[in-house]
Chain A
Amino acid sequence: MSTLTLDPVFWVSLGQIMLVNIVLSGDNAVVIALAARSLPDAQRQKAVVWGSVAAIVMRVVLTIVALEMLKLPYLKLAGSGLLFWIALKLLAPEDEHGEGLDNHNTLLGAIRTILIADLVMSLDNVLAVAAAAKGDNLLLMLGLGISIPLVIFGSTVILRLMDRFPVIITLGAAILGYVAGEMLVTDPVLQTWPLLAPAEWLHTALPLTAAALVVVLGKWVMGRPAAEGAVPEFVDLAREDEQPRRNPRSAKEK
């Protein structure tokens, strides 16, 4: 555990963890908020509370598992590749599918959705936090501590923040790339095989290269659909019967 909390490295890592959390927690938060939305009020509270409690437990367990697994040789290499992909995906353009089943009118259905979604969607978060903490338990706890309230209370805040300042997403992706690079050079395999042991300068150069690569690749992928002229169809969600009356002076009731 790092005792020197004045150490700048500690604060940089904490900053990394926070930013990564912000960009990776948004979708988890949305599912929790939305899965419970169609329930009656009393049940909605219950679904959010129980869904969140279970999600927290799951996240703690997953992080511990991830940390232990990252000690094994080759797994950091795999984790590094996975993180790199997660970073790229963050920058890729979104297409909303809506493939889930609408089974959220029951309390259990909503909780089940929250659980499954959190299991799948917090994997990226857990891996990123474990990687950025680099085995520092204090950082790990802080990282988890920060991510949990974000997921439970933060959905709209996170979405608005990312919408308002898209640069946060780019920054988060770059950090993920950086962390992926760090993970790559610190894999036990590379430490134990003398021939493969990375030179000292690679410990800085590789993470930076990975971060730059993510941004360049991500922006290139992101810019593509517009270049191909794929203009999306305009779908109007506003309903006809909600439109203001033609003569609003006579329709002042509200």
Chain B
Amino acid sequence: MLKLLVPVDGSENSVRLANYLVKWLGRLAEPVELHLLNVQPSLHGDVGLFLSREQMRDYHHDEGIKALQAVRDIFDAAGIVYTFHISVGDPPVLIVRFAHDQQCDQIVMGTRGLGQFASLLLGSVATKVIQLSDIPVMLIK
């Protein structure tokens, strides 16, 4: 069983990635265990002083569900089985952490397709995942 981790940020890129994965998974001989992961950014500043832990959890949970929806629809329509996960924090760190904890075989993720200069300036999740990861990372452009 091939265990794949697919980080999803809810952008158009992740929709493109999902559409591609539907095709690509069809070509694999080995059965696949598919994990979708959305990482929500932490709330900034002193928000935590005024909101309860539950409120923030609910908020992150709902935002995560929204971000995953488009990709889930694609996999559901294609009849592909998956489980999904939502976490909060620094995306690259948590993606790699999850892959490590769950002993995934591979991370498959999209890139925003920024040039070298732009990604230097804006920071790319994919670049950081490659840096941090100790398992193979496949990038879909």
B97: chain A residues within 8 A (beta carbon): 231-232, 234
Contact (Cβ within 8 A) B43 A94? yes
1/0 per residue B45-58: CB within 8 Å of A?
11111111111111
* Interface membership of B1, Cβ < 8 A: no
Contact (Cβ within 8 A) B55 A37? yes
1/0 per residue B81-102: CB within 8 Å of A?
1111111111001100110010
Partner of B54, one of A102, A163, A244: A102
The distance in angstroms between the C-alpha atoms of A22 and B102, with both chains bound, is 38
* Interface membership of A247, Cβ < 8 A: yes
Contact (Cβ within 8 A) B47 A27? yes
Counted as pairs of residues, one from A and one from B, with CB atoms less than 8 Å apart, the total is: 138
A99: chain B residues within 8 A (beta carbon): 48-49
A121: chain B residues within 8 A (beta carbon): 45-46
Partner of B81, one of A26, A226, A244, A252: A244
B87: chain A residues within 8 A (beta carbon): 234-237
* Interface membership of A38, Cβ < 8 A: yes
1/0 per residue A88-102: CB within 8 Å of B?
010000111111111
* Interface membership of B20, Cβ < 8 A: no
Whose C-beta in chain A lies nearest to the C-beta of B123?
A166
Contact (Cβ within 8 A) A232 B47? no
Whose C-beta in chain B lies nearest to the C-beta of A124?
B45
Given the known A-B contacts A165-B122, A237-B64, are A37 and B58 also in contact in the complex, defined by CB atoms under 8 Å? Answer: yes
* Interface membership of B80, Cβ < 8 A: yes
Contact (Cβ within 8 A) A31 B41? no
Given the known A-B contacts A26-B44, A35-B50, A165-B122, are A244 and B86 also in contact in the complex, defined by CB atoms under 8 Å? Answer: no
Contact (Cβ within 8 A) B86 A237? yes
Partner of B49, one of A102, A120, A226, A234: A120
Q: How far is the CB of B117 from chain A (nearest CB, A)?
A: 12
Contact (Cβ within 8 A) B56 A113? no
Contact (Cβ within 8 A) B122 A167? yes
The distance in angstroms between the C-alpha atoms of A132 and B82, with both chains bound, is 51
* Interface membership of A141, Cβ < 8 A: no
* Interface membership of A60, Cβ < 8 A: no
B28: chain A residues within 8 A (beta carbon): none
Contact (Cβ within 8 A) B48 A97? yes
Given the known A-B contacts A100-B50, A113-B50, A243-B84, are A237 and B123 also in contact in the complex, defined by CB atoms under 8 Å? Answer: no
Q: How far is the CB of B56 from chain A (nearest CB, A)?
A: 5
A75: chain B residues within 8 A (beta carbon): none
A246: chain B residues within 8 A (beta carbon): 81
1/0 per residue A129-162: CB within 8 Å of B?
0000000000000000000000000000001001
Q: How far is the CB of A162 from chain B (nearest CB, A)?
A: 7
* A–B complex contacts, Cβ < 8 Å, 25 sampled: A26-B44, A30-B43, A34-B55, A34-B56, A34-B59, A35-B50, A89-B45, A94-B42, A96-B42, A96-B43, A98-B51, A100-B50, A102-B55, A117-B46, A120-B50, A165-B122, A166-B123, A167-B121, A235-B87, A238-B86, A242-B65, A244-B81, A244-B84, A248-B75, A248-B79
Closest 8 CB pairs of A and B: A98-B53, A27-B45, A102-B52, A97-B48, A94-B42, A117-B50, A237-B86, A163-B41
10 further A-B contacts with Cβ under 8 Å, apart from A95-B42, A96-B88, A166-B122, are A26-B44, A96-B42, A96-B43, A97-B49, A98-B55, A120-B50, A165-B122, A234-B94, A235-B87, A244-B72
